C-alpha cells in the first residue's frame, strides 16, 4: 500500500459511478453483472478488473469443483509444501497480487480437511501449535486435482461469493477456465 501513496488522487464522479455499479454487480445473485463490469472501461479504478476476475475464479471450476484458492493449496502440497507457512507462502507466489490473509487461508485449509472425503489431513504434533502441524495431501486430493473427481460433488457446498449463494452438491454457478467466464451448472 505504501508504494501506491504517491499515486493517490481525488476521487471523481466517474470513479464513484463505476464503484457503485461494481458493488451492485458484486452483490447480485447472478455473476453476469460482474462480466458486464469487466466488459466496460474500468481504468478509472485500475485494480477493479483484476479483483473482479480473481473473485470470479473462486467459483467452483467445471473441471473439478475446486475454487482457485483450493486448487493452489492442493497444488502447493503436491509440489512439496507441508506446513501452514510453506503452503501459505507457496500459494501467495501463485497470485498476481496479494489476495488473502492467513485467517482466511486457515479457514480454507479446514474446509479442505473436512469429512466425508478430505483433500488434505493435518498430522498431529506433540505440544505444537496447530500452524506447525504437518499437512498431507490425501488420495482424494490427488484424484480431485487430476480432474478424476469433483470436490463439490463429494462434499457439497454452502458458500457466498458476494451475492451468489452456492449450495448443494451441484453449485448453480461454475467457473469455466477455458473461456474465463462463469457458467450455469
The residue extents of the domains of the chain are: 12-56, 68-154
Which residues 6+ apart lie within 8 Å of 102 measured at CB? 84, 88
How confident is residue 185, by pLDDT bands cut at 50, 70 and 90?
Answer: confident
Which residues 6+ apart lie within 8 Å of 46 measured at CB? none
Query: What is the mean predicted confidence (pLDDT) over 60-73?
Result: 97
Residues in the chain: 185
pTM of the model: 0.91
Mean pLDDT of the chain: 93
Q: Tell me which DSSP letter residue 40 carries.
A: S
Instruction: Record the cell numbers describing residue 48, joined without a space.
Output: 477493479
Percent of the chain with pLDDT over 90: 83
**Residue keyed to cell 500500500:** 1
Query: What is the mean predicted confidence (pLDDT) over 95-103?
Result: 89
Confirm if 90 and 81 have CB atoms less than 8 A apart.
yes
Please report the pLDDT score of residue 8 as a whole number: 86
CATH code for the part of the protein at 68-154: 1.10.10.10
Handedness of CA 96, 41, 9, 52 (dihedral sign): negative
Q: Is the pLDDT of residue 141 over 90?
A: yes
Please report the pLDDT score of residue 174 as a whole number: 97
Amino acid at each position: 500500500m505504501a508504494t501506491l501513496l504517491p499515486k493517490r488522487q481525488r476521487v471523481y464522479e466517474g470513479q464513484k459511478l463505476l464503484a457503485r455499479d461494481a458493488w451492485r454487480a458484486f452483490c447480485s445473485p447472478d455473476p453476469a453483472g460482474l462480466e458486464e463490469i469487466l466488459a466496460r472501461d474500468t481504468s478509472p479504478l485500475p485494480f477493479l478488473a483484476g479483483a473482479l476476475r480473481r473473485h470470479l475464479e473462486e467459483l467452483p471450476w467445471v473441471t473439478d469443483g475446486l475454487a482457485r484458492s483450493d486448487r493452489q493449496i492442493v497444488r502447493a502440497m503436491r509440489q512439496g509444501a507441508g506446513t501452514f507457512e510453506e503452503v501459505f507462502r507457496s500459494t501467495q507466489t501463485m497470485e498476481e497480487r496479494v489476495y488473502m490473509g492467513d485467517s482466511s487461508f486457515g479457514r480454507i485449509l479446514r474446509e479442505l480437511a473436512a469429512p466425508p472425503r478430505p483433500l488434505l489431513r493435518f498430522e498431529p504434533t506433540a505440544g505444537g501449535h496447530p500452524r506447525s502441524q504437518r499437512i498431507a495431501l490425501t488420495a482424494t486430493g490427488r484424484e480431485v486435482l487430476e480432474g478424476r473427481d469433483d470436490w463439490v460433488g463429494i462434499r457439497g457446498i454452502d458458500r457466498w461469493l458476494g451475492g451468489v449463494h452456492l449450495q448443494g452438491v451441484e453449485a448453480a454457478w461454475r467457473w469455466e477456465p477455458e473461456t474465463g467466464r462463469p457458467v450455469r451448472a
